[in-house]
Amino acid sequence: MLNDFSFASLAGQPKVKNLLARTLGSGRMPHAYLFRGPDGVGKKFAALLTAARINCAAPDDYSGCGTCSSCRKLRSGNHPDVVIVSPDKGSIKIDRVRELCRSLSFPPYESVMRVVIIEDVHAMTTEAGNSLLKTLEEPPENNLLILTAESSRELLPTIVSRCQTLMFYGLPVGECARVIGQKLPEIGPDEARLLAELAGGSPGTALTLNNKELVGRYRAVVKVVETASAVGVDGVTPVLETAAALAALKEDLPLMLGLLRMWVRDLMTEGDHIEIDIQKRRLAALDRAQRQLDRNCNRTLVSEVLLFNLQSPVAEVF
């Protein structure tokens, strides 16, 4: 679960690293942290590094040693005093939070401090969030809570106000491309850079895009839209075929809409006012498609209408 225990191995996030180094060095930790930022930029990794450092028998500077009993247990994913709570089928429910809060009243098994990592708290139901408040405000002794959340998702203000928030950010494109190049040595630097751009500087998102081969499909979609715009009615067949390919992406279709949104935004920054107007209509078409998918409309139909709108952007189709 954790191979390298040094904070140096967390890419980017200089502010977070500085702040954690100071706090871990002083030993004066808050009761609860909230690590907030985009998906895939290292929030959970930073939480695990913090857990490693806190319970390490021989910490090196502000990182865990990687070899003591505590570090080894953490590496194997079997540390009795590092508890990880993740969404189950998309949400964290009240029963799970109640069970967690009860278990925190017992002292840690073998460590000075129990570290509880609650992932993606934006996926917590309101009841579950409310049932966590008392524990967050005054956790039983020897417990540190670290919550993570996606930055654009809403959280209960009462949860945010009880935590010290550390903000995580997307990496600069060059830095992100370097990380991607390390993880995926088989791809070239140009591809790594494109993935970094498309992923908004998030190495985790870039890896997801790569695994799902979404970049190649995205390029094919852009090509079809551009060609169809140029040739008019002769472009209908490839558009329909591409729509079928889009619909076949199923639950990954929103990711593709996100990529297309970035393509349109890029065009917008380059164009004159007529061009900007066209791109605005394209963005509106993408938003409509997302709303229709949210309402469980037929994916093929949504994809066909979307592609025709992207190809010849009109104010409103339906």
Looking at beta carbons only, is 46 or 196 nearer to Zn ion?
46
Stretch that binds Zn ion, among 55-63, 122-130, 177-185, 308-316 (CB under 5 A): 55-63
Give helix 214-231 / helix 299-311 axis angle, nearest 10°. Answer: 50
Q: How far is the CB of 219 from Zn ion (least distance, A)?
A: 46
Stretch that binds Zn ion, among 36-44, 64-72, 98-106, 288-296 (CB under 5 A): 64-72
Question: CA 63 → CA 128, 136, 156, distances in Å?
Answer: 33, 26, 32
> Can residue 56 be called a binding residue for Zn ion (CB under 5 A)?
yes
Q: How far is the CB of 51 from Zn ion (least distance, A)?
A: 11
> Can residue 207 be called a binding residue for Zn ion (CB under 5 A)?
no
Residue 201: exposure state from Cβ atoms within 10 A (0-12, 13-18, ≥19): buried
Binding mask 70-109 for Zn ion (x = CB under 5 A): -x--------------------------------------
> Can residue 48 be called a binding residue for Zn ion (CB under 5 A)?
no
Among 11, 19, 29, 68, binds Zn ion (CB under 5 A): 68
Q: How far is the CB of 209 from Zn ion (least distance, A)?
A: 35
Query: Rounded to an integer, what distance in angstroms lies between the CA atom of residue 275 and that of residue 234?
Result: 23
Token pair belonging to 203: 């190495």
> Can residue 38 be called a binding residue for Zn ion (CB under 5 A)?
no
Length of the chain: 318
Q: How far is the CB of 124 from Zn ion (least distance, A)?
A: 31
Q: How far is the CB of 21 from Zn ion (least distance, A)?
A: 16
- Most distant CA atoms of the chain, gap in Å: 72
Q: How far is the CB of 62 from Zn ion (least distance, A)?
A: 12
> Can residue 55 be called a binding residue for Zn ion (CB under 5 A)?
no
Paired with 121 in beta bridges are none
Looking at beta carbons only, is 56 or 224 nearer to Zn ion?
56
Closest CA to 146 of 82, 96, 205: 82
Paired with 60 in beta bridges are 63
Question: CA 296 → CA 22, 125, 285, 290, 301, distances in Å?
Answer: 48, 22, 17, 10, 11
Looking at beta carbons only, is 67 or 103 nearer to Zn ion?
67
Looking at beta carbons only, is 56 or 215 nearer to Zn ion?
56
Looking at beta carbons only, is 68 or 173 nearer to Zn ion?
68
- Three-state DSSP state, 17: helix
Q: How far is the CB of 70 from Zn ion (least distance, A)?
A: 5
Q: Where are the beta strands (DSSP E) in the chain?
A: 32-37, 82-85, 114-118, 143-150, 164-167
- Three-state DSSP state, 76: coil
**Amino acid at site 250:** K
Looking at beta carbons only, is 68 or 222 nearer to Zn ion?
68
Q: Are 92 and 128 in contact (CB under 8 A)?
A: yes
Q: Which residues bind Zn ion (CB under 5 A)?
A: 56, 64-65, 68, 71
